[in-house]
Amino acid sequence: MSAAIDTIIDDFAFLDEWEDRYRYLIELGRSLPPMPEAARTDANKVRGCASQVWLESRVEQTGAGPALHFTGDSDAHIVRGLVAVALAFFSGRPAQEIIAADAQGLFRQLGLAEHLTPQRSNGLNSMVNRIKADAASALAG
């Protein structure tokens, strides 16, 4: 895992109150680099999210096969933070690792599974499914 996701895990463990964790998620979202307006296309929109979420993937061919780099954004503060967590976990990894990665285990470790609304949980799952589908597509092609 990347140093960024390790830092997020450590920061979540340090914060006792869920209100503080939500604030931290919002700060993570604010730290995302801005997504170019041209990337906010229908093709990059993640289906199954109550908020608007966009994910763009870029495939890099490496000696070990394709690796994927993601950019993302959302129109909702907490969801933008969830996008930041997902990108920290997945971006830059080889496609095989992305497909095998246990995102649900990470979300349980962070406590997100029990503290997100069902709509946000569904949206987070939709993001993960989209990322894994992009990785499978990169391997196939």
Q: Is 62 helix (H, G, I), strand (E, B) or coil?
A: strand
Q: Is 49 a catalytic residue?
A: yes
Tokens standing for residue 41: 């296309």
How many residues in the chain? 141
67 contacts 93 by C-beta, under 8 angstroms: yes
Q: Which of 8, 35, 49, 103 is catalytic?
A: 49
User: Which of 98, 15, 12 has the alpha carbon at shortest distance from 55?
Assistant: 98
Tokens standing for residue 77: 């503060």
Active site residues: 49
